Amino acid sequence: MKLNYYVLWIENNLMLSNYLDKYYDLLISYLLKLSENTILTYEINELLKIDNRDFILNPDYSSIINLLYKELIKKIPQNINNIDKYIDIFKNEIKLFLSWDINNLICNKWKNISWTNIKLTLSDSNPYNILEDHPEHKTNWAWLWWWEKSEEEWLFIYEKTFDLLKKVDKWIYSELNKIIKKIIPLGTSKWVHNSCSYKDCIGHLYLWYTYDVSNPEINNLEAIIHESSHNKLNLIMQFDPILLNSREEKYYSAIRPDARHIQWVFIWYHAFAPTMYILMKAYRDWLFWNDSYWLEKIVLYHIKTKFLQKVIKKYAKLTELWKNISEEIDYVITLMDEMFKELKPSKEIIERARKRQIEHFKKVNMTYPNLEY
């Protein structure tokens, strides 16, 4: 099939470039509206006189532009306190940029992860960086810090992660270097790897360091593919709606313990297919040790991804664009099916995974008896 690479990756992805161009134009239109409404008029007008693309597209600033436009011009409450704080931050950053004092810009602080264009940093001006309560992990705070690991240890493990990613798929490695600007530490944890990203902050990943595991770089890899897929979809969603379903409908998701609108089922469908595809490739190609934990997880989430596929096929009312995206996800799943045969998991592993998925379905169904399926 002809791919536009909404899900997979290729060198010099035209789809991604076109959407970044459109996003830049959209942000410029927001700035003009702010200026017309006497919000940072002088600073914005001066900024627009010079080459500003990298500055405006940087998520440290695009997120503030989104906040100010939606809160102050569109009057859409963003549930963020102290808007004036972000006006002051943006004003100061523009002044630094205009004076060529670029080393002191928030977006340029801290260190790049070796062999990437991505910084690992505690400096973050994204106003949306409030980690929502996750119903499984029960973490409702977002403290940016290294915690039990040092900065050097964080850098080392993420260098190792990106080195692994480059070996697994050089095109996703290339694409991430174009769209992702920062990885921001949210903390450390045993076994569980929390992560998040935000619709109006395209280019930042908020990630954990998982320790007490045999291959922490695999936990990182899983989270990076998942959250960067959200970033790609968030970019597209700035312009194009996914679904025509009623917002009142709630559907079962094989991923979550709670009921969600089917748009969220699609978002997870779009993220989990490429994530499991990459993990399968890495496992198949012996790029990490033959770890039974990861094989069991790959089998389980392969089953879950196909369950998401069934829900989307049966209930999603997709626009034409999102039909095309869905077809590309289907294509990725056919690749996963082929690799699944190569992995040759035992019958016992497959049965355990199926049992876990059935138990998950029953548990959610008991909690939300009025779900659409």
* Three-state secondary structure readout of 2-71: CCCCCCCCCCCCHHHHHHHHHHHHHHHHHHHHHHHCCCCHHHHHHHCCCCCHHHHHCHHHHHHHHHHHHH
Is residue 44, in this structure, part of any structural domain at all? yes
End-to-end, the C-alpha distance of the chain in Å comes to 29
Count of structural domains within the chain = 2
Domain boundary among 79, 108, 137: 108
- pLDDT of res. 208: 87
Alpha carbons 113 and 111: distance in angstroms, whole number: 6
- The answer to the question of residue 2 being in a domain is no
Which one of 108, 129, 160 terminates a domain? Answer: 108
Task: Give a yes or no: residue 231 inside a domain.
Answer: no
Q: Is residue 168 one of the residues assigned to a domain?
A: no
Instruction: Name 354's Cβ contacts closer than 8 Å, sequence gap at least 6.
Output: 303
User: Structural domain of residue 57, as residue ranges?
Assistant: 14-108
Tell me, yes or no, whether 113 lies in a domain.
no
Helical pair 216-237 and 170-179, crossing angle rounded to 10 deg: 60
Structure tokens at 297: 């997880």
Give domain status of residue 159, yes or no.
no
The token pair at 317 is 């009312």
> Is 9 contained in some domain?
no
Q: Name the H helices within 206-319.
A: 216-237, 262-284, 292-315
Task: Give the end of a domain, one of 57, 89, 108.
Answer: 108
Question: Whole-angstrom Cα distance, residue 368 to residue 300?
Answer: 22
Q: Does any domain span residue 360?
A: yes
Instruction: Provide the 3-class DSSP secondary structure of residue 169.
Output: coil
Per-residue pLDDT of the chain (373 residues; tens, 9 = 90+): 899 999 999 989 999 999 999 999 999 999 999 999 999 999 999 999 999 999 999 999 999 999 999 999 999 999 898 999 999 999 999 999 999 999 999 999 998 999 999 999 999 999 998 655 455 544 444 566 787 889 999 999 999 999 999 999 999 999 999 999 999 998 787 777 788 899 999 999 999 888 888 889 999 999 999 999 999 999 999 998 777 787 777 888 898 888 788 888 999 999 999 999 999 999 999 887 667 889 999 999 999 999 999 999 999 989 999 999 999 999 999 999 999 999 999 999 999 999 999 999 898 888 877 666 6
